[in-house]
A = this chain, B = another copy of it.
């Protein structure tokens, strides 16, 4: 008798952003004239940089001619893109990563979830709390999370990130096999320093754990002293896998391109994790679209770099407006200076969903309730800087007006 993957059946109800969208739609349905501003889901709104559009069109023309047509590409991605990423995103920061340690993919989200496939189902997973839901959900679906009750999985190591510890986790007592870290963090908007990351690399190397480092928001760091990559920390090449993305760096949320770094030095049980992931990708993936890889390469051209800097500057001005506006209104506010996310405490001890509902009904602003990211997110709200500048200013004024 055919059996299903029972782990799927343990999953709690709907995905956080689906519930946010449902409540927003219900409100708009009940108030047809309402002018709702969405600062909830972390999707970008500015167009793709012109350099990327032009590269995409040039690549499309290449595909249209027999002499320049590209069929199946390398599972790990084309060298032109792997080399461009290394040259611009690793080498300048002293991270000794080679192009032959990168896998190009259709986005970091899939890789963050699928990377678990090369590890045993018995591995113990640690996550920050609050956390991007994909890390937990993907591992729960693979049977690593145990059972779900009262907002927690009983086999996940939750590492609280609260105002008490500056939203940076303490080393866990129970040693995890896999440790997800994301900095600048989604949802708290806090970046990590070298001094904060170093003990984690040492801890992982001491215990044989593997750090899964999500650097999807690195382009939003403004403080030059902050590390852009886990590989700026000595020893990380022996214990860390890093995920990168063009989604937020260059507006690729709907275009889809990212990468995963697995250093050749990273081995466990005598096996190369690079080789294991290559086995995964060659069997379950068929390479990232050639034209999309050409569009991503253009991010690193001089024009692309200028256009991306302008785009990020636009969003970071939104972040400043939100952060300063909400702080000035007396809200306890975090993030937004090295990250596109602002994390603030709901006033008067209100819980996340209550204040989410109030912001929606009284200010017509859609946010994301912090409790949706984990137990320690309760009482917080996440706002994103990816909106239109004028609408973002308007949203901040509306929020202030209801406090």
Contact = CB atoms under 8 A, between A and B. Distances in A.
Interface of A: 1-6, 8-9, 11, 15, 18, 41, 43-48, 50, 52-53, 56-57, 60-61, 63-66, 69-73, 106-107, 109-110, 113-114, 117-123, 134, 137-138, 141, 177-178, 208-210, 251, 253-256, 268-269, 271, 276, 279-280, 282-292, 295
A24 to B, nearest CB: 15
Given A117-B5, A289-B256, A48 B64 contact: yes
A81 B154 CA distance: 41
Contacts of A118: 4-5, 8
Contacts of A107: 286
A119 to B, nearest CB: 6
A3 B125 CA distance: 12
A53 B43 contact: no
Copies of this protein in the assembly total 2
Given A141-B117, A254-B290, A276-B8, A71 B50 contact: no
A290 B255 contact: yes
A46 B63 contact: no
26 contacts: A2-B178, A2-B269, A4-B119, A5-B119, A5-B120, A15-B282, A18-B282, A47-B66, A50-B64, A56-B56, A57-B57, A60-B295, A69-B254, A70-B254, A71-B253, A106-B286, A106-B289, A110-B285, A110-B286, A114-B284, A134-B283, A141-B283, A254-B287, A256-B289, A289-B289, A292-B292
A285 B80 CA distance: 25
A177 B134 CA distance: 29
A282 to B, nearest CB: 6
Contacts of A288: 106, 256
A326 B270 CA distance: 48
B73 A209 contact: no
B269 A3 contact: yes
Given A3-B122, A253-B71, A64 B43 contact: no
A374 B255 CA distance: 38
A286 B114 CA distance: 13
Nearest to A106: B106
Nearest to A139: B283
4 closest A-B pairs by beta carbon, nearest first, are A3-B120, A53-B64, A2-B177, A43-B71
A7 to B, nearest CB: 9
Given A9-B271, A284-B109, A254 B56 contact: no
A59 B375 CA distance: 41
Contacts of A57: 56-57, 60-61
Contact of A279 (B11, B43, B271): B11
B284 A113 contact: yes
Nearest to A178: B2
A45 B288 CA distance: 18
Contacts of A69: 45-48, 251, 254
Contacts of A64: 47-48, 50, 53
A269 B4 contact: yes
